[in-house]
Structure 1
């Protein structure tokens, strides 16, 4: 079971490296989208707790 996880991890890392080398603009867009999603989620938490606090 451990070796399956290791193989999957190597495959994911290889895919990410291939994607970064082959399409850096697309990779930058994906990272930007991820960061925007995290920022929006954090902003929603702040708004929620601010509303609770009054």
Structure 2
């Protein structure tokens, strides 16, 4: 029975994320906070761009 490489890599990535969150919760929170700020900034920029088209 062949093992699906993509499935194994996904599970390894999930395991790494869980391990990182358990070992360094403050750093994990900073990463999530930074990603949220980046997404918010991008959404704000897109909204400003679309608003300037009208």
Instruction: Give TM-score, length-normalised by structure 2.
Output: 0.92
Greater fraction helix: 1
Structure-2 separation of matches of 1:34 and 1:3:
30
Task: Name structure 1 gaps, 5 residues minimum.
Answer: none
Structure-2 separation of matches of 1:2 and 1:47:
47
Runs of 4+ with >3 A deviation: none
The alignment yields a C-alpha RMSD, in angstroms, of 1.4
Instruction: Give TM-score, length-normalised by structure 1.
Output: 0.92
Q: How many residues align?
A: 53
